[in-house]
Chain A
Amino acid sequence: MGKTSLEVVYRGIFQKTLARNICRAIVLAARKEGKVGIGFGRYGDSPERNGIPAKYFAVVADTQEELEENLAMYEADNVDVTVAVDDTLCKGVESWGWYGLQPINQLTKNTGTVLVTSVQGRSDLVRDIHTKDVPYNIGVVQGSTSFSGLWVYKDDHTDVRVLGAICKVCPEMVSLESMEEAILEQWNNPVKVDSARKSHDRIETRVVEPGEGNPEEPFSFDLPGWTTMEEALVVRNVEQGAGFRGGDGGYEPVRNPYFKKWSTRTMRPVVNFETCIKCTLCWLHCPDSCFDVTPDGLYDSNMESCCGCGVCEDVCPVPDCITMVNEAEFEGNLSQWEDWNTNKDGYNKWMTEIVEKQKTQEPRSHGFHHVGQYREEVGSVTDSRNVVEGL
């Protein structure tokens, strides 16, 4: 008797359909076992913004009463399984209707499981995930992150592969047999059932001990409640910016201190300061004003506020001057310009290497480029990983 619950942490809009598909299939499969359940998006995440982390929940219970009891909460206090459908979410989650950074495992219960879709290994991911004072398990559903937009869904079987893995790590929630039945009913595609079963058989988890992981304290803010607000509910503006790092030259805007936006980032711009022609375009077209202007007229992307949209790479007229590199390659949010300014040779070597490495990787797809693209991309997944044969 009792209830089991699950959260899917996903990139807003890009993975909305994916998260819904996962939670919906769980509920439908649970019904086949005579249980009741519900899948729902977190209220505070709506309306969603592209890339900004959001959550979807699925709660399964034996009886209607138990289900209702658990629905009376704004957000579950703990879940049996946390699914992160993008591995860069392991660095923490700052949702747009919320304040401060939540560790990805914040809601994962004692001996619960964090499932991540990733091409990284479990230990690499644990390094990014904040420490927890109770043990939990981590498992990786191998594969690159599945992104698509609101209107065209990229059916690369990530949904069913996650579902298969969930049945393995939390069989109390729903069994593989009922899941297979539900998948077939939902998609009417036996190949998707195969994908789920293979993922179920392949998934392996390991225990993450208390204290293991990223020891940093996630940032948080204290904002006034309604009794302590200023008269007329005035919200203080941001101050005018000043010279770079408080000096005379350049310019550095003062930023809204209560929202950082970096947890939205899945790719990070890496700048080659040697080839920059100071044309201003990256700075001018950045919707997030994240470029600080250095005294020597260069543009240093502030990694606390960059959300990784990639417009700077697109507008930059110099080949390889700005390259978007997978966020998983980095730790911390330090200034690239400072790094370059203190050790030019060291920075240039690092930069060349990381840019070359990015070129050899499978490109991360951030939504729709052209008609027919998803079919091409799903085809390549079929070939390289032998996961979705038959498509």
Chain B
Amino acid sequence: MTQMVDLPQVRGVKNIPIEEMFTSGHRTCQGCESALTMRLMVKAAGDRTIVTGSTGCMYVANTTYYTSPWVVPWMHTQLGSSGAAATGTAAGLKALMRKGKVKDEPINVISFCGDGGGIDMGLSGISASLTHPEYNHLVLLYDNESYANTDIQVSGSSPWGANSTFSPPGKVHRIMNTRWKKNMVGMLAAGHPDCRYLATSCGSYGLDMTNKLRRALTIGGPTFIHSIDPCPKGWDYDPKFSHELGMLAVETGLWVLYEIVDGELFLNGPSKAIAKGMKQRRPVEEYLSRQGRFAHFTEEDTKFVQSKVDDMWERWWGPGVIPINVKED
């Protein structure tokens, strides 16, 4: 195994590193939360980091012809290959260090992908990467719930009923995306018992995200983080509400903040407060009615989403973690 960078947990928002490793001058939308996720990701990791990124907004909008907002080394990899790129980069570094061709020093390896690249196309590659305990790397999935770069086509992560280029509501069929969003972390946790760290996160909780990234990069072996990123373009809302919608996703219980460390589940932030009964889940309507992609929803649709979210919290093993329970005789 290669050496790991010393990244202590950050106590308090004022101690988040000041240095920018992903800086201004990228061509993302106003209020792009995925750009914020990229920024927080490398801010937490520091300058001894190699980043590879699969195709998506965070490739296309950031590194347009001959320009770059990255301070750390960054390389584009193909749409479905974030997992393979992570393993390959980590394995390459390990071999070069063993042979003495590069200095044996601690270096972080991060590979990111969008929901199209990670949840749809790159799923098998990510799965494979999590079965290699001898390599240290992190796969970060930034999820804006559609193929946002190519103008909002449905992905395996798009929520039920959302308007998109592939699922426009019509007069006869109001709900055109009838699939429920894939449960990525639960699926990967259940299927990769050797993976020591998996987590969900949201850029609206910057400190939580920073610390999760640092835990993922220092625990050893392959790790995975799934971040929900409100997207003003595809979700259709005023960009200034990016932060607020991220918080609403968590507070309504649609997105659950948790981490799985060595097979143990820990809920974080508002999700923990909700699970402990210290906080009430807000109705999903507060989240849905703020976005143009759900503007066609009727009361019945909202009720349906609410009932599914209630199920996640009341009937799943761990809130929003795994939709299975042991049947008692």
A residues at B contact (CB < 8 Å)? 12-13, 46-52, 96-97, 99, 148-152, 223-224, 229, 235-241, 251, 253-261, 264, 279-281, 284-290, 293, 302, 305, 307-311, 313-315, 324, 365-371
Contacts and interface: CB of A to CB of B under 8 A. Distances in A.
A249 B13 CA distance: 19
Given A237-B73, A287-B28, 15 more contacts: A46-B151, A49-B27, A149-B233, A235-B66, A235-B68, A237-B68, A237-B70, A238-B23, A251-B19, A256-B26, A305-B24, A305-B25, A309-B239, A311-B242, A371-B289
A369 B290 CA distance: 6
23 contacts: A47-B149, A50-B31, A52-B30, A96-B61, A152-B292, A223-B67, A235-B67, A237-B71, A238-B23, A264-B30, A285-B203, A287-B28, A287-B35, A288-B24, A289-B22, A289-B39, A293-B18, A305-B25, A310-B240, A311-B240, A314-B243, A366-B239, A370-B289
B256 to A, nearest CB: 21
A196 B99 CA distance: 75
B72 interface: yes
B24 to A, nearest CB: 4
Contacts of B29: 12-13, 49-52
A280 B16 contact: yes
B234 interface: yes
B47 interface: yes
Contact of A237 (B74, B203, B238, B240): B74
A229 B66 contact: yes
Contacts of B33: 287
Contact of B238 (A258, A315, A368): A368
Contacts of B65: 99, 223
Given A47-B149, A235-B66, A237-B68, A310 B61 contact: no
B24 A315 contact: no
B44 to A, nearest CB: 12
A98 to B, nearest CB: 9
Interface in B194-210: 203-204, 206
B295 A51 contact: no
A115 B74 CA distance: 43
Contacts of B293: 151
B276 interface: no
Contacts of B163: 151
Given A223-B65, A309-B31, A289 B236 contact: no
B238 A310 contact: yes
B292 A236 contact: no
Which 8 A/B pairs are nearest by Cβ-Cβ distance?
Answer: A256-B25, A310-B240, A149-B236, A50-B29, A305-B24, A309-B31, A309-B30, A96-B27
B72 A237 contact: yes
A287 B36 contact: yes
Contacts of A223: 65-67
Contacts of B237: 149, 367-369
Interface of B: 13-14, 16, 18-20, 22-33, 35-36, 39, 47, 60-61, 63-74, 149-152, 163, 203-204, 206, 232-234, 236-244, 289-293, 295
Q: Say what secondary structure dominates the interface of chain A.
A: loop
B20 A97 contact: no
A307 B151 CA distance: 20
Nearest to A254: B23
A288 B138 CA distance: 24
B30 A308 contact: yes
B71 A239 contact: yes
B25 A324 contact: no
Contacts of A365: 238
Contacts of B71: 237-241, 254
Contacts of B25: 238, 255-261, 305
A224 B66 contact: yes
Nearest to A147: B238
Residue among B16, B19, B20 with the highest chain A CB neighbour number at 10 A: B20
A368 B24 contact: no
A151 B165 CA distance: 9
A322 B98 CA distance: 53
B59 to A, nearest CB: 12
B29 to A, nearest CB: 4
Contacts of B35: 287-288
A97 B64 contact: yes
Nearest to A250: B18
Contacts of B39: 287, 289
Contacts of A286: 36
A151 B163 CA distance: 7
A48 B206 contact: no
A280 B14 contact: yes
Given A237-B73, A259-B25, A311-B240, A149 B292 contact: yes
A259 B64 contact: yes
A152 B151 contact: no
B233 to A, nearest CB: 5
Nearest to B244: A314
Residue among B70, B72, B238 with the highest chain A CB neighbour number at 10 A: B238
B238 A367 contact: yes
A280 B67 contact: no
Nearest to B70: A237
A310 B30 CA distance: 8
Nearest to B67: A258
Given A238-B69, A258-B66, A285-B206, A253 B24 contact: yes
B66 A314 contact: no
A366 B238 contact: yes
Nearest to A149: B236
Given A49-B28, A149-B292, A253-B24, A284 B206 contact: yes
Nearest to A241: B20
B70 to A, nearest CB: 6
Contacts of A261: 24-25, 27
A259 B236 contact: no
Nearest to B147: A47
Given A47-B149, A49-B61, A310-B239, A151 B24 contact: no
Contacts of A368: 236-238, 290-292, 295
B13 A280 contact: yes
B292 to A, nearest CB: 4
A223 B68 CA distance: 13
B24 A255 contact: yes
Given A302-B24, A309-B31, A367-B237, A240 B19 contact: yes
A362 to B, nearest CB: 15
A211 B237 CA distance: 41
